[in-house]
Amino acid sequence: MRQRATRDQQRLDSGAVSSPKDLENLQREIASLAKRQGDLEDIVLEVMERRESAQERVAELTERVGAVQGKIDDATARRGAAFEELDGEAASVTKEREVIAASVPADLLKLYEKLREQQGGVGAAKLYQRTCQGCRQELAITELSEIRKAAPDTVVRCENCRRILVRTSESGL
Ligand SMILES: [Zn+2]
């Protein structure tokens, strides 16, 4: 297009075109070509601007993806560490339980295991201020006096939930 405009201009300047009508046509064509060139330059400029803003957006999103990935990596590492800690804790509690279970008479252990199965994982409960901490029921006066009379090594149980009751100085007896 630019070549055509140059050629038109050269023809105009050379004086080869003499008829006024041809001259007018040529001038009109030159003007129209100049306008089209201007329009095209505007479009090119707009496309360049849009490309630039798209590149900025790409850079911004890439940065955000990187930040999110960093957070994921961090959380994954912390989760791994937490699992490791829990595994260690579970192993030590299991071992501790084995040691304690070995010191408990077999029949009592059997009773405890049976109750634990029946009572959602808790086979023994503390007697605290006359209340069974397993079922949260306060014991009847008669039951409390029975427990008071029982020898320290007698296995006493909650009248309500049947769990083994563990007596302490806070039992309220
Ligand atoms: Zn109870």
Strand order through the sheet with 131-132: 131-132, 124-128, 164-166, 156-157
Position 129 pLDDT exceeds 80: yes
Question: What pLDDT, on a 0 to 100 scale, did the predictor assign at position 52?
Answer: 97
What is the average per-residue pLDDT within 16-36?
Answer: 89
Question: What pLDDT, on a 0 to 100 scale, did the predictor assign at position 112?
Answer: 94
Q: How far is the CA of 109 from the centre of ligand 1 (A)?
A: 18
Question: What pLDDT, on a 0 to 100 scale, did the predictor assign at position 19?
Answer: 85
Residue 107, both tokens: 């029949």
Question: What pLDDT, on a 0 to 100 scale, did the predictor assign at position 23?
Answer: 87
Residue 136 banded pLDDT, cuts 50, 70, 90: very high
Q: How far is the CA of 89 from the centre of ligand 1 (A)?
A: 29
Report the chain's mean pLDDT, rounded to a whole number.
93
Q: How far is the CA of 119 from the centre of ligand 1 (A)?
A: 10
Q: Distance (Å, rounded) from C-alpha 2 to C-alpha 6?
A: 6
